[in-house]
């Protein structure tokens, strides 16, 4: 079960997924708040965020993980991810350009499953990492 996007035989260690680049907007954060139920005002209320000492509203960590997850499923196919882990390295800010980087680090066959291990990161235009993590996909 899962979308067929990649063929195991065609993938090499070191291959990179197509990059997703997105300029973060306050509308993205409002949409994510409404879809996830995370209404922490730090993510949508500029006045509250500044009163709390932040320069502006900032992104939900789980929005970043969701965006990087979209880059991941666009590459390996929806339904094929078996593990997805990230560390939240830095906050994200409106107008930053967030770009995905997904690299195949290993190919292995286990219990008849064709698995890819991937290093996943999301970073801004200055090359600062926002998310650093790992994923595994089982190709159909």
Partner 1 sequence: MADGAASQEDVLKSIIGQPTGKSKVVVERGPVQHFADAVLSASPIYHDPAAAKGAGFDNIPAPPTWPFAMEFSGKFAEMQPADAPSGNPLATVLGPLMAKGGLILHGEEEFLYHRPVEVGDVLIGDGVISDVYQKESKGRTMTFICSETTWTEESTGEPVVTARMNLIHRS
What is the binding site for partner 1 (CB under 8 A)? 1-4, 20, 22, 28, 31-32, 34-38, 61-63, 65-67, 69-70, 72-74, 77-79, 81-88, 140
CB of 12 or CB of 27, closer to partner 1: 27
Give least dist CB 7 to partner 1, A. Answer: 15
Distances (CA, A) of 121 to 20, 42, 98: 11, 24, 10
Q: Name the residue among 39, 11, 42, 1 with its Cα closest to residue 118.
A: 11
HSE, CB side, 13 Å, CA atoms: give it for residue 19.
Answer: 12
Distances (CA, A) of 74 to 18, 25, 97, 109: 8, 22, 19, 22
CB of 87 or CB of 108, closer to partner 1: 87
CB of 34 or CB of 55, closer to partner 1: 34
Give least dist CB 20 to partner 1, A. Answer: 8
């Amino acid at each position: 079960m899962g979308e067929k996007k990649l063929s195991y035989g065609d993938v090499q260690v070191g291959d990179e997924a197509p990059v997703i680049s997105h300029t973060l907007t306050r509308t993205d954060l409002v949409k994510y708040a409404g879809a996830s139920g995370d209404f922490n005002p730090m993510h949508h209320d500029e006045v509250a965020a500044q009163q709390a000492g932040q320069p502006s509203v900032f992104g939900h960590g789980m929005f970043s993980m969701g965006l990087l997850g979209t880059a991941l499923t666009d590459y390996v196919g929806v339904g094929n991810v078996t593990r997805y882990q990230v560390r939240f390295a830095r906050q994200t800010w409106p107008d930053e350009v967030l770009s995905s980087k997904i690299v195949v680090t290993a190919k292995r066959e286990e219990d008849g499953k064709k698995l890819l291990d991937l290093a996943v990161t999301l970073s801004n235009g200055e090359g600062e990492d926002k998310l650093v993590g790992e994923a595994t996909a089982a190709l159909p």
